[in-house]
Amino acid sequence: MQPEITRAEQLKGQTLGITRFNSTAHTVSALILRKLGLTQSVTLRPLGGNPEVQAAFEQKQIAGMVTSVRPRSPANSLMNAADLEVPYAMNVIAMTREFLQKNYQTAERVLRAYIEGVAAMNHDRETALKILAKYLKRNDPAFLDEMYKIAVQFTDHNPRIDPRTVVTVLEFEPVKGADAESLTPKAIDNRCASKSPSSKAYTTRIHDEGIESEWRVMEYWISESPLHQHSIALIYERSIRFGVSR
């Protein structure tokens, strides 16, 4: 938030910047405002992309924004969204039930790529900082250290599904014929709980022992916008290593 905004009630009548409607920034902002009881009191203004939102903030065109990247201009961190316990999945890897049934090994190898990529991030801080600098286009050591701590703190070691997030995802991205009740972990192939590399034993071993991981995976998980096409390609390349066919 702008430095003069120090309390949530000061947001009434203000404008917050988002990238675009139905984006992650929009969804998270809307959920936070709902939690604070400010949905009808604050305007959300789409500005295009993260650089445009940052620029608008620095030029004082908006009162604030939801971001994990600290602005270059003076700013006040009003709250940590994680402390509000708002159920939302920031990034999702989804597949149809039919795809999972026909390509179970492919799905398993993608999970391995995730787990090993996160482990690599935790075990090699210096390489992680270099990749953060590459994607965030900033070289300030204090800033990069802060971003690294955020990535380590909030990136789950183990891929999992929180049923509460299904509700919020479907609210903002409705799918015809789908409802939250039918899309819970109970509906997922039970083999995932016992055979998948996301089992506790596999994850614990990888994070305890560390691996010589290809850093392409790590770039996927800590890049600012991990769903960009280049990042999808990165995890795809990593999956190739485990025998995923082209």
Same domain for 22 and 143: no
Phi-psi region of 57 (alpha: psi -120 to 50; beta: other; left: phi over 0): alpha
Other beta carbons within 10 angstroms of residue 46's beta carbon come to: 15
Q: Out of 5-14, 177-186, 187-196, pick the least confident.
A: 187-196
Residue 212: predicted pLDDT? 46
Domain membership of residue 88 (yes or no) is no
Assess whether pLDDT exceeds 60 at residue 35.
yes
Same domain for 192 and 146: yes
* 128/45: higher pLDDT: 45
Q: By C-alpha distance, which of 33, 20, 26, 18 is closest to 172?
A: 26
Q: What is the span of the domain harbouring residue 48? A: 8-81
Residue 230: predicted pLDDT? 35
Assess whether pLDDT exceeds 70 at residue 240.
no
What is the rounded CA–CA span in Å between residue 188 and residue 175? 17
Same domain for 68 and 111: no
Q: How confident is the model at residue 66 (pLDDT cuts 50, 70, 90)?
A: very high
Q: What percent of the chain has pLDDT over 70?
A: 70
Quick check: pTM over 0.85? no
Same domain for 186 and 135: yes
> What is the number of domains present in the chain?
2
Same domain for 186 and 132: yes
Assess whether pLDDT exceeds 60 at residue 235.
no
Q: By C-alpha distance, which of 16, 226, 235, 214 is closest to 107?
A: 235
Residue 205: predicted pLDDT? 66
